[in-house]
Amino acid sequence: MKREIAVLKILDHPNVMKLYDVYETSDYLFLITEYLPNGELFDYIIRRGLISPSEALKFFQMLVHGMDYVHSQHVVHRDLKPENLLLDDKNNLKIADFGFASINEPGSLLETSCGSPHYASPEIVKGESYNGPSSDIWSIGVILFALTSGSLPFQDESIKVLLHKIGQGNYVIPPIVPRRARDLISHILIVDPLQRYTIKDIKEHPYFNENGLGKNYPLYKPLMPTDGEITVVDDDILATMEEMYMENENSIIKELLAPGKNLKKTYYFLNFLFVFPQLLIFH
């Protein structure tokens, strides 16, 4: 829960569940978020059965645009699935449940195996070090498969057999899936993460743009390292960053107080502005 709060504090996008405030008492922790009355995408699909191709594409576009932004902030979700995608009163998709999220700085690999087996990437189920965004993209591919076919690409009653199928990339796309969606899925659900499509590749694919709405969202610049001076480290923000990075406080403090630019300083100031929004100056 603390990790989810830490991540949501720094994210602000139309397709990511918005965290407005946090209140804590001796007994309870209250999260004030936007109201999403239409519930989980999973339940939406179950209630309706196979959804229309046009609706499947719209949901997929919102998911991709949201995750494009999340990755631009060097955050990876690591538990993408329809149960963690919520809908507002107009059925706009909102990415939620960042409890397994982590910071994945450029050039670094993650090692923690987490998430739901049916949506986990081959590198995760094999226990290998992995690139966070590429692993999320695999999950996005599984969700596209589910949206367009009403089923999952990897299923088995035996977890051992299930993980073997995922590790081998052993799946069959049903004929009901539209041709362009089939082609895109085949480029996402690739075992080798170096050959797997990137978000940029997905957004340039004909399927993603066939309704003319694929490029309706603005592009987001990656979060950049800053060299702002920090002389005294706030204990509450430090605790938040320990949850975000899953590192000990000494390692984080060392980088916060070091000269030069780094991303930890950027996240420190973003968390500071969440706590003290009145200090935010608009230019």
Residues annotated as catalytic (active site), given as ranges: 79
Distance between CA atoms of 279 and 268, rounded to whole angstroms?
Answer: 14
In sequence order, what DSSP letters do the residues of 250-273 get, joined into one string? HHHHHHHHSSS-BHHHHHHHHHHH
Contacts of 27 (CB under 8 A, 6+ apart): none
**Residue 11 and residue 5 in contact, taking contact as beta carbons nearer than 8 Å:** no
Distance between CA atoms of 45 and 52, rounded to whole angstroms?
Answer: 10
Give CA separation, 59 vs 90, 93, 125, 133, in Å: 12, 6, 27, 19
Structure tokens at 255: 């980088």
Cα dihedral 213, 214, 217, 219 in deg (nearest 10) = -150
Structure tokens at 180: 């362009």
Give CA separation, 26 vs 30, 99, 114, 236, in Å: 11, 22, 30, 16
**Residue 75 and residue 103 in contact, taking contact as beta carbons nearer than 8 Å:** yes
For 226, phi then psi, to 5°, come to -120, 160
Angle at 176 between CA 172 and CA 179, to 5 degrees: 85
